Amino acid sequence: MNKYQSLALQLKQQICEQIWRSGEKIPSVRACSRQAQVSTATVLQAYQLLETEGWLVAKPQSGYLVATNIRQVIQAEGETPPPDAPPMRINDLLYDVFQRTKSSDFMPFSSAFPEANLFPQQELVRSLASASRKMKENSALTNLPPGSYELRRLIAQRYVQQGLSVKPDDIVITTGGLEALNLSLQAVTQPGDYVAIESPTFYGALQAIERLKLIPVEIPASVTSGLDLDVLEEKLAAYPIKACWLMTNFQNPLGYSLSNAQKQRLVSLLNRHEAYLIEDDVYSELYFSEQKPLPAKAFDPQDRVLLCSSFSKCLSPGFRIGWVVAGKLSDQIQRQQFLSTISSSVPAQLGISHYLLHGGYDNHLRKLRTTLQHRKTAMITAIKQAFPKQTQVSDPDGGYVVWLSFPPPFDCQKFYELASQANIAIAPGTIFSLQQDARQHIRLNYSYPLNPKTLTAINTLGDLAARCLRSESEASS
Amino acid sequence: MNKYQSLALQLKQQICEQIWRSGEKIPSVRACSRQAQVSTATVLQAYQLLETEGWLVAKPQSGYLVATNIRQVIQAEGETPPPDAPPMRINDLLYDVFQRTKSSDFMPFSSAFPEANLFPQQELVRSLASASRKMKENSALTNLPPGSYELRRLIAQRYVQQGLSVKPDDIVITTGGLEALNLSLQAVTQPGDYVAIESPTFYGALQAIERLKLIPVEIPASVTSGLDLDVLEEKLAAYPIKACWLMTNFQNPLGYSLSNAQKQRLVSLLNRHEAYLIEDDVYSELYFSEQKPLPAKAFDPQDRVLLCSSFSKCLSPGFRIGWVVAGKLSDQIQRQQFLSTISSSVPAQLGISHYLLHGGYDNHLRKLRTTLQHRKTAMITAIKQAFPKQTQVSDPDGGYVVWLSFPPPFDCQKFYELASQANIAIAPGTIFSLQQDARQHIRLNYSYPLNPKTLTAINTLGDLAARCLRSESEASS
């Protein structure tokens, strides 16, 4: 192959890989010659060849552009698309669920966020634009950890309105709630420490424990009776537990909340054993009853609770703004953050601050809660009609997920596979727990409107569940 | 080997790796039995063996602890004891430097970023506003890891223009360059692994190694001769080094770059020893010579280099957008990210994409480079006039920091304190290295204009340096 032919081949490949897109200018002959270390004559020959073959178009005064009908050109040449990614290893299932949730081909009942159009996108974007225009040159420095003072002040305000005594300086802004939780866990544990979690729990807790080489102590929890504080008390006595990572309101995936008395008991247990509570409280704004539930932090005079939350479930998943009410551990958390992500994105911090001040957050939340509550009722009704009668469905008082339980030997992973084949993504119980009986459960996001498409999907899931129960009971008999 | 013997061996290894430290409680017999999936009797046998051999001590009511004289036990067994874990001292100092840099009361010669008004704030904000308005409702999902396709494509384009073969799908967008580096290190190492770094090095590398319980192997580097690849070759032969975390262009803090031949040699060394290179290349756009230097990734057909970079040094520190060219490890990195910050901020990703397409990035970079080069010349001249004649000053060919070296027994931390009292923040050598001679150095950011205020600050630093050298030579005589 000549030099110019080989150069032309390289360029074709780059175009196939969309490095250069339809209609886009490619590097000048001179730039390409310098970079590829061939003569300008060779480059010109290559470009002319590609022009002849329809890949490029020469435009006077402006050089060579990629042809606008480039897709047809590529297909006509019989080029194959790039190969599929290699198969996945650990945490395969979790990552697979996440990928399917992302794909627009799937009905995303597995999603960890409410339906995207329930967020006040327009208002938030207006706030982002306004706040950006006022951004100062040194804003990157002044909004380094602990983060924008104004944003911390507005968050503290919301807690103070609930009767908590939270100061802006108690708060550290993070890249979403998950970073807040991870930094908190790192701040209070060393590898080899014991950490208590609910079973089932938010999968992020299981993963963090594995990554930080901690030892999980699972505390049983159920839809009907919530977290078993008696067992927690026993375990705290039996193991040198350093921290508990728990959800106190609208627990994911079960949906229960601890009562105030239980929250008080929880904190006093921790105080007795000098353990910390990492409180994951990302759903408390999405309550359906009279008023917003308190976090356990409200009963924490000794500053043992690291209260973590975010705007990702109520306002915008994509801004990646969360926080931790860290109190005396604030400095410790900031150090961890300074060494991992340095700070959360400044425009996102300022955009959300502006929205909290001017955008009508509380109005939005009121509407969001009403919608979610209606959708819950509709979805639960549909589920009960579509699923086999042995199915148990949770009826949470907030949030946007329901927990479905099936009699053994139901296998949620088999169900997950069948649902995926029908282009429906669900969250199998096994991503939430290390226990065997995790297989009998699935989690569904109910934040979608019950239109014909959703209803069909629910009915399909019901049929598949019946099939799973039937075939498994046949297999086991 | 019996089950219990092999378990005992595993535990010894973990103790050598300081997973369990002197005096620390190891997992209970029950916890270990569950984790290792062997009977409690087997675990008990293993623990008792280790007790007989002096590795463990049984403590009534509390289980087994690692012996407090464990270093001697390890040495007696002829095992090489691990190098001591780096003490926490750097962390405190580093955090203090960072706090002072942030404060508007201080002249921020310690800053890790160019002067704030060198960034195209106006244009970037316009791009952010335009991109925000076009944001779709599902943008949080479509820009989840690996991040915005358009942004990855535009980053790939810049590499392709340098002759590298990088595809959008090789790239993962991160919350700044530091997250890219940390995720990369996590992806290729386990606690207890050896990691080679330069000495002195970017403090983030030292901190990540400490946090992830890795063992640093320091490779000497100097302003004049760069990284000592002969020593690296020896160390790669002597230790099972899993990864090297290195800066190949305008190394922070020394300022040297590896030649292309050195980069080639580096990658071939790594290939021979199956080690990964985590390449920190955040300064390569800030070159003062003819053309942008290549990363070592350019010489990496076997995909052993994780090339990390960001927009924080060239465009905007506050947006927190970085990336890693992860190639075949892309999936691995995305999993790590999905479990720590989920994704980088979507508006920031879209804002930077828009700016890259429409904002005139290359024009901005040209101006930035010219300004930095002029400021370097002016600052070095001022430093040479103000500082004692024994002072050596680096003259880097890119970036925005100089490295000042003083004869022993200069103590940079004492100098740091004196400078702070004069409201000037500098970066003391001891945050960049674990070695004793780190005390003889300081790093200064030269991206500030040489106005009367800066000049006064430089002159003050010169006087303080003279005082330090004088008083210390008196003290030592």
pLDDT digits 0-9 by tens, A105-163: 899 999 999 999 999 998 998 999 898 888 877 777 777 889 999 999 999 999 988 88
pLDDT over 70, % of chain A: 96
Mutate to test the interface with B, among A16, A138, A353 (most CBs of B within 10 A): A138
Residues linked to residue A174 through DSSP beta bridges, in sequence order: A322
Residue A89 clears pLDDT 60, i.e. is over it: no
Which of B28, B102, B191 has the CB atom closest to A141's CB atom? B102
Q: Minimal Cα distance from B90: which residue of A?
A: A335
Residue A90 clears pLDDT 50, i.e. is over it: no
Across the range B460-469, mean pLDDT stands at 96
What confidence tens digit (pLDDT) does each residue in B301-353 have? 999 999 999 999 999 999 999 999 999 999 999 988 988 888 899 999 999 99
Q: How confident is the model at residue A88 (pLDDT cuts 50, 70, 90)?
A: very low
* Domain spanning B90-112+363-476, CATH class: alpha beta
pLDDT at A473: 64
Q: Is the pLDDT higher at A15 or at B176? A: B176
pLDDT at B20: 65
- B320 and A176: CB-CB below 8 Å? no
Which positions ≥6 away from A4 have C-beta within 8 Å?
A: A38, A42, A43, A45, A46, A49
Residue B81 clears pLDDT 60, i.e. is over it: no
What confidence tens digit (pLDDT) does each residue in A306-328 have? 999 999 999 999 999 999 999 99
- Interface TM-score (ipTM) > 0.90: no
Sign of CA dihedral B351, B354, B355, B361: positive
- A137 and B143: CB-CB below 8 Å? no
Where helices occur in A54-212 by DSSP H, the ranges are 70-76, 92-102, 121-133, 139-142, 149-161, 176-188, 203-211
Which of A239, A338, A341 has the CB atom closest to B95's CB atom? A338
- B339 and A204: CB-CB below 8 Å? yes
pLDDT at B398: 98
Helix (H, G, I), strand (E, B) or coil at A222: strand
Residue A37 clears pLDDT 60, i.e. is over it: yes
Across the range B372-379, mean pLDDT stands at 98
How many other CB atoms sit within 10 Å of the CB of residue A75?
A: 9
Q: Which of B16-30, B425-439, B453-467 has the lowest mean pLDDT?
A: B16-30
Which of B121, B141, B144 has the CB atom closest to A135's CB atom? B121
Residue type, A300: D
Which of B204, B208, B331 has the CB atom closest to A85's CB atom? B331
What confidence tens digit (pLDDT) does each residue in A451-473 have? 999 999 999 999 999 999 987 66
Q: Are A404 and A445 in contact (CB under 8 A)?
A: no
Q: How confident is the model at residue B390 (pLDDT cuts 50, 70, 90)?
A: very high
Nearest CA-CA distance, residue B4 and chain A, Å: 20
Residues linked to residue A218 through DSSP beta bridges, in sequence order: A197
Residue B409 clears pLDDT 90, i.e. is over it: no
Q: Is the pLDDT higher at B36 or at A15? A: A15
- A346 and B320: CB-CB below 8 Å? yes
Nearest CA-CA distance, residue A64 and chain B, Å: 15
Using alpha carbons, select from B185, B120, B127, B116 the residue that is nearest to residue B154.
B127
Burial (CB count <10 Å: 0-12, 13-18, 19+), residue B452:
exposed
Using alpha carbons, select from A466, A471, A476 the residue that is nearest to residue A406.
A466
Q: Which of A399-413, B203-217, B413-427, B451-465 has the lowest mean pLDDT?
A: B203-217
pLDDT at A62: 78
- A14 and B160: CB-CB below 8 Å? yes
Mutate to test the interface with B, among A195, A214, A337, A341 (most CBs of B within 10 A): A341
How many angstroms separate the CA atoms of B360 and A286, rounded?
44
Residue type, B329: L
Residue A86 clears pLDDT 70, i.e. is over it: no
Q: Which of B74-88, B197-211, B247-261, B411-425 has the lowest mean pLDDT?
A: B74-88
Q: Taking the CA of residue A311 as centre, how many other CA atoms within 13 Å lie in the half-sphere pointing to its CB?
A: 30
What confidence tens digit (pLDDT) does each residue in B107-162 have? 999 999 999 999 998 899 899 989 988 887 777 777 788 999 999 999 999 999 99
Q: Which residues of B touch A138 (CB under 8 A)?
A: 104, 116
Which of A85, A121, A132 has the CB atom closest to B128's CB atom? A132
Q: Minimal Cα distance from B35: which residue of A?
A: A215
Mutate to test the interface with A, among B335, B355, B445, B447 (most CBs of A within 10 A): B335
Q: Minimal Cα distance from A16: which residue of B?
A: B167
What confidence tens digit (pLDDT) does each residue in B91-121 have? 778 888 888 887 788 999 999 999 999 999 8
Residue A224 clears pLDDT 70, i.e. is over it: yes
How many other CB atoms sit within 10 Å of the CB of residue A156?
A: 20
Residue B232 clears pLDDT 90, i.e. is over it: yes
pLDDT at B97: 86
Residue B230 clears pLDDT 90, i.e. is over it: yes
Burial (CB count <10 Å: 0-12, 13-18, 19+), residue A34:
middle
Query: What are the boundaries of each domain within chain B?
Result: 3-76, 90-112+363-476, 121-359
Q: Which residues of B touch A140 (CB under 8 A)?
A: 113, 116, 316-318
Average of per-residue pLDDT values in chain A? 90
Q: Which residues of A touch B179 (CB under 8 A)?
A: 340-341
Using alpha carbons, select from A448, A443, A429, A477 the residue that is nearest to residue A379.
A448
- A319 and B347: CB-CB below 8 Å? yes
Q: Are A368 and A288 in contact (CB under 8 A)?
A: no
pLDDT at A251: 98
Average of per-residue pLDDT values in chain B? 90
Q: How confident is the model at residue A70 (pLDDT cuts 50, 70, 90)?
A: confident
Across the range B346-373, mean pLDDT stands at 95
Which of B163, B316, B341 has the CB atom closest to A341's CB atom? B341
- A27 and B161: CB-CB below 8 Å? yes
Using alpha carbons, select from B269, B258, B205, B267 the residue that is nearest to residue B236.
B269
Which tokens go with B5? Answer: 């013997």
Q: Is the pLDDT higher at B267 or at A167? A: B267
Which of A85, A125, A339 has the CB atom closest to B133's CB atom? A125
Which tokens go with B57? Answer: 């001590």
How many angstroms separate the CA atoms of A127 and A105, rounded?
32
| Residue found by looking up tokens 């008023």 in the block | A291
Q: Which residues of A touch B153 (CB under 8 A)?
A: 18-19, 21
Q: Which of A79-88, A159-168, B53-62, B209-218 has the lowest mean pLDDT?
A: A79-88
- A343 and B318: CB-CB below 8 Å? yes
Q: Are B54 and B70 in contact (CB under 8 A)?
A: no
Residue A72 clears pLDDT 80, i.e. is over it: no
Range among A361-375, B77-91, B113-127 with highest mean pLDDT value: A361-375
Q: Are B269 and B221 in contact (CB under 8 A)?
A: no
pLDDT at B322: 97
**Yes or no: domain A3-76 corresponds to CATH 3.40.50.300:** no
Reported residue count of chain A is 477
- B344 and A175: CB-CB below 8 Å? yes
CATH no. of A121-359: 3.40.640.10
The pairing of beta strand A276-280 with beta strand A241-246:
parallel
- B340 and A179: CB-CB below 8 Å? yes
Residue B88 clears pLDDT 60, i.e. is over it: no
Q: How confident is the model at residue B477 (pLDDT cuts 50, 70, 90)?
A: low
pLDDT at B83: 44
Which of B137, B153, B317 has the CB atom closest to A117's CB atom? B137
Nearest CA-CA distance, residue A223 and chain B, Å: 26
Which of B104, B142, B335 has the CB atom closest to A91's CB atom? B335
Q: Are B297 and B279 in contact (CB under 8 A)?
A: yes
Q: Is the pLDDT higher at B65 or at B412? A: B412
* Angstrom distances, CA of residue A262 to CA of A225, B101, B359, B408: 12, 45, 56, 62
Q: Minimal Cα distance from A189: which residue of B?
A: B211
Residue B356 clears pLDDT 80, i.e. is over it: yes
Q: Are A214 and A191 in contact (CB under 8 A)?
A: yes
Q: Which residues of A touch B133 (CB under 8 A)?
A: 125, 129
Q: Which residues of B touch A117 (CB under 8 A)?
A: 137
Q: How confident is the model at residue B359 (pLDDT cuts 50, 70, 90)?
A: confident
Residues linked to residue A183 through DSSP beta bridges, in sequence order: none
Residues linked to residue B276 through DSSP beta bridges, in sequence order: B243
pLDDT at B87: 38
How many angstroms separate the CA atoms of A57 and A64, rounded?
6
Residue A288 clears pLDDT 50, i.e. is over it: yes
Q: What is the pTM of this model?
A: 0.82
